[in-house]
A and B are shown apart, each in its own frame.
Chain A
Amino acid sequence: MKKLFNSQERMVDDMIDGFVAVYPQVKRGENDSRIVVRRQPKDSDAKVTLLIGNGSGHEPIAMGFVGEGLLDANVVGDVFAAPSADLILDGIAEVCGAAGSILLISQHSGDVINGGAAAMLAEEAGHTVRPLFMYDDISSAPKGEETERRGAPGTMFIYKILGAAAEEGMALGPLFELGEAVRDNTRTLAAAVSPGISPLTGKAMFSLPDDEIYLGMGVHGEPGIGKAKYGPVSGLVETMVEALLDDRPVPAGDAVAVIVNGMGGTTLMELLTVYRETETALKARGLSAVAPMVGTYVTTQEMGGFSISLLTPTAEMLRLWCAPSDTPHFPAIKRD
């Protein structure tokens, strides 16, 4: 596979060079070249700041969500590797003021240990920072063991809702509780149709027969819950919505916010079709789909496939999810 890089050593830094040169909402942090921050920082003594560290190779997440009404900083690790604890610590020091910070941690083992350690070291250095562990992938651990699950694209509900609430001035304690509530109301399931190519090895990250689909594969190609036969997408989406609602039942009559996320190699044409079928499957159960987000946001290079995330929002969560933001890649969300 031909990938367009200068070298393995430079690929992440070259990408960030391009990113901060292109988008008006962002700039490099002062503490380290792997930190991306808002060009117009908020008053961090008055408002809680929000940041996340993650491995690169999944763009546009998370640096694409740095900006007003969303993240204050993103700490960028090597390809598919969590940033080191000291680098995340530098990121915390960059944005944390008197109002404190929330360090978002999408649950993967490297991120949990490095992010958790960074939060401990930051507290020791006098910063007020709380790590919020995010997990929503129902395929990665059974019901009843939710805290063992991986972070998946449903975590975008947390980014956005907390980002909007922090911008409005919500204090650290209530903001953290809001984040936990969003997490607890969110479930995600993914389906993969073709592998991504690792920029490190130039090789496919897994293999899959032409007539099969992997259910529940993680963002690094981690194994999921099983295979499905390739067929019309309506049947696949029906199976996935059933599994999501089985994991966290939602009473008929409720509204459900939906994310359909493409993994990198799936077209908007396909993703919009997936959304249509999701809405249909929800409607058949007496549920209404609201405030959808459909597009390619959490990727694994050119991996083919998508995930469906469902959030049962409170009125407050829904309002914040639909609030305006100004970042390179977070879309406008429709509020009916």
Chain B
Amino acid sequence: MTARRFFEKLEALYTDEQERLNDLDAAIGDGDHGSTMLRGLTAAAKAGDGLQAKAFMRASGGASGTLFGLILHEIELHLSGSERSLAAHLRRSLERIKELGKVAQGDKSMVDSLEPAVSALDAGRGIGAAVAAATAGREATRDLAARRGRARYVEDAGRGHVDPGAASVCLILGVLAGEEEQR
């Protein structure tokens, strides 16, 4: 599967999911997570080979666009014939996100779904297990209090709401999984 197909499929998925993600984000943040992601993905799907993650970062703008861009950068490398494993690629994005965002597992963020997914891949359990782990991580964010970002300041630090970043990680890995199984 090519990176191009991956970005086209992800753009199509976010076209459908945009409103739902904006609604999730409205409960604990700016309410624009879906729109921001779709704006980046639309640019990525149009960009030349090897430039898709860069185009995503440019178009989505802002800190969360950069952090998701780091995940998409690794997936782009993986799908463009990198010799490193998918686990190694996603591990690198996870470590970068944790360092830059000063965020750890349990803080109610994208890391809560990305970290378990990467751990599953590291354990050799395959992409399907990684998606399942990410999904469980996403659901766990519902009971967590936010420790980073705007969600800290909303009622009860966002308890009762799923983190939109964690939800997005599941969407991205879901599309990747569908394609990996065809490879």
Q: Decide whether A and B assemble into one complex.
A: yes
* Chain B: CB-nearest residue to A118: B66
A120 touches B62 (CB 8 A): no
B 41-69 to A, binary, CB cutoff 8 A, 1 in contact else 0: 00000000000011101101111011101
Q: Which residue of B lies closest to A114 (CB)?
A: B66
Question: Across the interface, do A84 and B63 meet the contact criterion of CB distance under 8 Å?
Answer: no
Query: B69 touching A117 by the CB < 8 A rule?
Result: yes
| B70 on the A face (CB < 8 A) | yes
Partner of B61, one of A84, A116, A120, A121: A84
Tell whether B73 is near chain A: CB-to-CB under 8 Å: yes
- B31 interface hit (Cβ, 8 Å): no
Q: Is the CB of B61 within 8 A of A117?
A: no
A201 within 8 A of B: no
| Closest residue of B by beta carbon distance from A119 | B100
A114 and B101 CA atoms in complex are apart in Å by 10
Do A113 and B101 form a contact, CB below 8 Å, given A84-B65, A86-B69?
yes
Interface residues in A54-105 by Cβ distance below 8 A to B read: 78, 81-82, 84-87, 89
- Pairwise interchain contact A109-B63, C-beta atoms closer than 8 A: yes
Q: Known contacts being A86-B54, A120-B96, A121-B73, is A113 close to B61, with CB within 8 Å?
A: no
Contact (Cβ within 8 A) B61 A78: yes
Q: Are B58 and A113 in contact (CB under 8 A)?
A: no
Q: Does A112 contact B (CB under 8 A)?
A: yes
Chain B residues in 8 Å Cβ range of A120: 70, 96, 100
Do residues B96 and A84 form an inter-chain contact, with CB atoms below 8 A? no
**B99 close to chain A: CB less than 8 A:** yes
Interface residues on B, range: 10 to 19
A304 at interface, CB cutoff 8 A: no
List, in ascending order, chain A residues with CB within 8 A of B62's CB.
Answer: 81, 110
B159 to chain A, nearest CB (A): 23
Known: A85-B57, A86-B54. A117 touches B70 (CB 8 A): yes
Question: From residue A70, how far is it (CB to closest CB) to chain B in Å?
Answer: 27
Closest chain A residue to B61, Cβ basis:
A84
Verify B63–A113 contact, CB threshold 8 A: yes
CB nearest neighbor in A for B73: A121
A110 to B99 Cα, complex, angstroms: 14
**Do residues B66 and A84 form an inter-chain contact, with CB atoms below 8 A?**
yes
Contact between B61 and A85, CB atoms less than 8 A apart:
no
- Chain A residues within 8 Å of B96, by CB: 117, 120
Contact yes or no, A113 B67, CB < 8 A: yes
Least CB distance from B61 to A in Å reads: 6
Are A84 and B57 in contact, CB atoms less than 8 angstroms apart? Answer: yes
Partner of B58, one of A82, A87, A116, A117: A87
Q: Name the distance in Å between A150's Cβ and chain B's nearest Cβ.
A: 15
A117: nearest residue on chain B (CB-CB)?
B66
The docked-state distance in angstroms from the alpha carbon of A116 to that of B53 is 16
Please tell me if the beta carbons of B57 and A116 are within 8 angstroms of each other in the complex: no
Distance (whole angstroms) from the CB of B87 to the closest CB of chain A: 17
6 A-B contacts (beta carbon < 8 Å): A82-B63, A86-B53, A86-B69, A113-B67, A116-B99, A120-B100
A residues sitting closer than 8 Å to B (CB atoms) are: 78, 81-82, 84-87, 89, 109-110, 112-114, 116-117, 120-121
List 18 additional A-B contacts (Cβ < 8 Å) besides A84-B58, A87-B58: A78-B61, A81-B61, A84-B57, A84-B61, A84-B65, A85-B57, A86-B54, A86-B57, A86-B58, A89-B54, A110-B63, A112-B100, A113-B63, A113-B100, A117-B66, A117-B70, A120-B96, A121-B73
Question: 9 tightest A-B contacts by CB?
Answer: A86-B54, A113-B63, A86-B57, A116-B100, A85-B66, A113-B100, A84-B58, A84-B57, A117-B66
